Amino acid sequence: MTMISEPDVPAIELGHREAAPGKPSRARLIGVVAVGALLVTAVNVTAAIYLYRGVNDLKTMEARLEQLGQFEQRIGARIDTVNNGFQSRFETLDHQLQTNFGRINGSIAKLEQGQPVAASDPAPGAAEPALLDNTTVADASAADEGAGAGDGQPAFKRKVAPPGPNPSYQRIQQPDGKVYYKKIN
């Protein structure tokens, strides 16, 4: 092969070419691809950070909800305990009321038949307080509380004001069972 060389014409270097008039250069294409990859990487890192935070928040919420479930079970158990206590008290009161209503109905039936109730049906375990001329309100309430204690059922305690130094009423029970209070001066 023969080479023609002219001293006036500049030499062409093989490594450096000019781009064709309608095509972009390779350096520009590589730059655009690199910027795009960097942008996608930044979006992925940001999404990963928010996803990690969301997962941690979700774990925290699950732990709190689990504690709430345990709290709900404890409260439910305590409410059931209180409810059972009230239910047993209501059943006891209902039984007492039914017993008392039965006694009252029996007494009413005896009265309708003309039988004296006080003479034939004394309250079981109830001692009749003795008729005293100097009986006071405080003594009468103490006697009433003691009267219901022997029948096996709890007596309802009444709130009675404590007697003053000189009680001013006297309790009088007549033979027919009526009780009167007389004011003492």
Domain annotation covers residue 79: yes
> What is the sign of the dihedral through the CA atoms of 175, 177, 178 and 184?
positive
Domain annotation covers residue 17: no
73 and 53 within one domain: yes
What values do phi and psi take at 5, rounded to 5?
-125, 135
Output the tens digit of pLDDT for each of the chain's 185 residues.
566 667 676 666 665 555 555 666 788 889 999 999 999 999 999 999 999 999 999 999 999 988 888 888 889 888 888 888 888 888 899 999 999 999 999 899 888 888 776 644 445 444 444 444 444 444 544 545 454 445 555 555 556 555 545 556 777 888 888 887 777 76
Report how far residue 159's alpha carbon sits from residue 35's, in angstroms, rounded to the nearest whole number.
Answer: 91
Structural domain of 177: 123-151+167-185
Domain annotation covers residue 158: no
